[in-house]
A and B are shown apart, each in its own frame.
Chain A
Amino acid sequence: MDILVVDDSKIMRIILQRAIRQAGYRGLNVCEAENGVQALEKLREGKPKLILSDWNMPEMSGLEFLKQVRETEAKLPFGFVTTECSSEMRALAMSSGATFLLSKPFSPEDIQEALTRILD
């Protein structure tokens, strides 16, 4: 598993998968989870190079998911892809250990720039 995409919206998971391919990372193994609980289970199976997570999700919010990830993985790159794009939410994300926050709507170039910084 290279990238773990966590979003309760199936259509957004598809869009992110496509955006990752369009950004030139066609060979990567991208796994999906519908929420933080599922994602934590996936992380027990293996550690990705990057997590892309929504913020507002049922079962466990993206912020809570991030905090649980940080309990064991201090440096694992973690990016939010979310509509929560206010300066306050951005500050909260970063102070909680997020690597970056990408706001929706995003362009393929936005995804490419974020991935390049982490994966190259």
Chain B
Amino acid sequence: METVVSQDTVVEIVESIFSTMLEIDVSLSDSAHSPSGERMTSTVYLEGDWNGAVSLECNRSQACQFAGRFLATDPPPAVDDDVKDALGELVNMIGGNIKSVLTKETRLSMPSVIDGHDYELRICGSHSRDVSAFQFFGGTFWVTILDECSSRTN
């Protein structure tokens, strides 16, 4: 099932953010959604005429690389507050840009960040999801759009 946001739009937004803010070229990949082990997920929620969530999943090493690019330094050796902040800011930008292509009556939440091992993230009430895999020099990460109300908006 396709959500209210097209994959083309998501790809355009993600490529632009990573290129402009991190100077990292990313491209859509056909990798299966298979996050496992120690990883991180940042999420923002959108509420209004369209209800849903946007999440970014990557491993800890990738998150450190993103933070290093943001800070224009070497990647932090371990996940710290800056790394969590960077991952939250990335999904905030992705969600904010997705919000801008939706109806005006949509609000964006503050980002949340999970850092853990073999966890499952469940957004209660969501009933469709579009997962896009992106590839860069550090491997594959995933951006997921969770749609809670596709039957109302489609």
Please report A residues at the B interface, Cβ cutoff 8 Å.
Answer: 8-12, 14-15, 18, 56, 58, 82-86, 88-89, 103-107
Contact = CB atoms under 8 A, between A and B. Distances in A.
A56 B93 contact: no
Q: Which of the four size classes fits the interface of chain B? A: 20 to 34
Nearest to A83: B96
A112 B71 CA distance: 19
B100 A11 contact: no
8 contacts: A14-B70, A15-B71, A84-B100, A104-B21, A104-B92, A104-B96, A106-B20, A107-B20
A83 B82 contact: no
Main secondary structure of the interface of B (DSSP, over half): helix
Contact of A88 (B81, B104, B108, B110): B104
Main secondary structure of the interface of A (DSSP, over half): loop
B67 interface: yes
Given A15-B70, A105-B20, A83 B110 contact: no
A83 B71 contact: no
Contacts, number: 68
B72 interface: yes
Interface of B: 16-17, 19-21, 67, 70-72, 81-82, 85-86, 88-89, 92-93, 95-97, 99-101, 104, 108, 110
Report, nearest first, the 10 A-B pairs whose CB atoms are least far apart: A83-B96, A105-B20, A86-B100, A88-B104, A11-B85, A105-B21, A105-B17, A104-B93, A85-B100, A9-B89
Contacts of A18: 72
B105 to A, nearest CB: 9
Given A83-B92, A104-B93, A10 B110 contact: no
Contacts of B104: 86, 88-89
A15 B95 CA distance: 19
Contacts of B99: 83-84, 86
Contacts of B21: 15, 104-106
Contacts of B89: 9, 11-12
A88 B93 CA distance: 17
Given A82-B96, A105-B93, A58 B20 contact: no
Contacts of A12: 85, 89
B81 A58 contact: no
A98 to B, nearest CB: 16
* Max chain B C-beta neighbours (<10 A), residue from A9, A15, A18, A107: A9
Nearest to B13: A105
A88 to B, nearest CB: 4
